[in-house]
Amino acid sequence: MFLGVIVLTVTAVIAVFAFLYITNYKQNILASCVSHDGSETESHYHAQLTIEQDGEKVKIPANIGIVKECIHPLHTHNTTGLVHVQHPPGLGFTLGDFFDVQGIVLKDDQIGSIQTKDGYSIDVTVDGVQVKSGFQNILLKDREKIDIKITSLAK
Ligand SMILES: [Zn+2]
Ligand SMILES: [Zn+2]
């Protein structure tokens, strides 16, 4: 009985440490600067993000993730919604990571100040296929098209 509790506790502690280690590792990578001179050793690819609110395109800012000379692994160069992704092999970034970089909340029922409880619907498709839940966990992939449609229901 006691042994069982100890084993469970040890397992839980290891799980928490493993989770924190991976989270920290990702945060450290996200905070690092990447090179842009063609000598980069990490993967470098692009996903296309489009956000529409009631049929109007929402402008995605240029230079997200670029602070002075430091270009962070998730960034934009212009307002086309092309998300540049650079990371070491074996690691991936999600749509949630990209919103985190901007300090914008992304959840299934919320994007920034827009919340479904206030009468909006948020629909997300990846390459035309609807994503039902877990928007923040969508893995960014090369040439992937992510479309977010926000609709005001109260009219
Ligand atoms: Zn790029
Ligand atoms: Zn770039």
Q: Assign residue 61 the CATH number of its domain.
A: 2.170.130
Q: Which ligand is nearest to the CA of 83?
A: 1
Residues 84-121 have pLDDT tens digits of 999 888 888 999 999 999 999 999 999 999 999 999 99
Ligand 1 mean position to 56 CA, how many Å?
Answer: 26
The token pair at 45 is 């690819």
* Ligand lying closest to the C-alpha of residue 77: 2
CA of 53 to the centre of ligand 2 (A): 27
Asked whether the predicted pLDDT for residue 64 surpasses 90, the reply is yes
- What average pLDDT does the segment 48-76 reach? 95
Residue 13 forms part of a structural domain: no
pTM of the model: 0.86
Q: Domain span at residue 145? A: 32-152
Q: How many domains does the chain have?
A: 1
Q: Tell me the C-alpha distance between 152 and 140, whole Å.
A: 27
